[in-house]
Amino acid sequence: MRALVTGCAGFIGSQVTEALLQRGDEVVGVDCFNDNYGRPQKLRNLRHFYDWDGFEFVPIDLGRGDLEQITDDRDAVIHLAAEPGVRSSWGERYERYVHNNVIATQHLLEALKDRDDVRLVNASSSSVYGDAEQRPTPETAPVQPLSPYGQTKLAAEHLCSLYVANYGLDAVSLRYFTVFGPRQRPDMAFHIFCRAALEKRPITVFGDGRQTRDFSYVGDVVAATLAAADRPLDEARVFNIGGGTPASIREVLEMIEQLAGHPVEVEYLDKERGDVRDTAADTTLAREHLGFEPGTSLEQGLGAEFEWLADAVADGRSKPRTAQ
């Protein structure tokens, strides 16, 4: 397969790119190195596949560039580029979310609209559900984002649906539920918690710690994403991708204490705007259509992330963040 991976230097994008190359596919990767976190970690992610003959890197802002050339000969486009994060999507940064999540997606769709031989896999988010009343939450549940980030991800989903209906584009959206694992962004909770435990610093949690998330290991998410690029599909166009075993933040912190070998000091603060109370994915559709079966437990995946971050801290490749 000849694939285009957007956001190829990111947490999930770099691992999707690596998995494609390892199975013999040809990949064009694009990234604009937006400033949501430091460039050094993204450059380290790129080093995992720079030596592959089947890889080409194109630094481009999807919201500004001409995308015809990079999409012209692709069999699949895996669209992972985005402005991530719920809490930072308020206020002045909202324009970046619109640019990187909505306008960038629309430009990509325009470049693909006359192609009936390419599959677009669009990375969406469980944030589109907001505080879902039904858990596990199926894809048919009402979508009512609680944050500007969730609103822009839902807008990107809707754009994909419009191009499917009006142009016959072959597009699929995957609603990822709280992805974790090695190479995780430094602004994400597990990264912050593990690093604080390694350095014996206090951990700050927004909320009472009893809020739950359906944590999804990145290796399982990569497998689901490749299946969405590969498999013939009928009417189903939106799929939940979740780990299947929701856990509370307090339970996660207990696991981190075990990994660190010492207690961690935790300070609980008021919840932040846009944070939902609980998430849980109904992955029936993904199991039926994509063959999706999470294979990594929360304990196994958290151990893998802790080990990766311990190595990064030991050789100075990770900088501390102070909030969840």
What is the per-residue pLDDT for 322?
47
Q: Which domain holds residue 24?
A: 2-177+217-242+281-295
What is the per-residue pLDDT for 219?
98
What is the per-residue pLDDT for 37?
79
Q: Is there a catalytic annotation at residue 149? A: yes
pLDDT surpasses 80 at 318:
no
Overall pTM surpassing 0.75 (yes/no): yes
Q: Are 241 and 216 in contact (CB under 8 A)?
A: yes
pLDDT surpasses 80 at 159:
yes
For residue 304, is it within any domain? no
- What's the whole-number mean pLDDT along residues 89-106? 97
- What's the whole-number mean pLDDT along residues 266-270? 97
For residue 312, is it within any domain? no
pLDDT surpasses 50 at 230:
yes
For residue 140, is it within any domain? yes
What is the per-residue pLDDT for 232?
93
The CATH number given to whatever domain includes residue 289 is: 3.40.50.720
For residue 317, is it within any domain? no
Which comes out higher in pLDDT, residue 34 or 206? 206
For residue 286, is it within any domain? yes
Read off the pLDDT band of 76 (50, 70, 90): very high
Q: One of 149, 163, 176, 217 is an active-site residue; which one?
A: 149
Question: Residues 187-197: pLDDT tens digits?
Answer: 999 999 999 99
Which comes out higher in pLDDT, residue 304 or 40? 304
Question: Residues 280-310: pLDDT tens digits?
Answer: 999 999 999 999 999 999 999 999 999 999 9
Number of domains in the chain: 1
Write down the mean pLDDT value for the chain: 95
% of residues, the chain, pLDDT over 70: 98
For residue 290, is it within any domain? yes
For residue 117, is it within any domain? yes
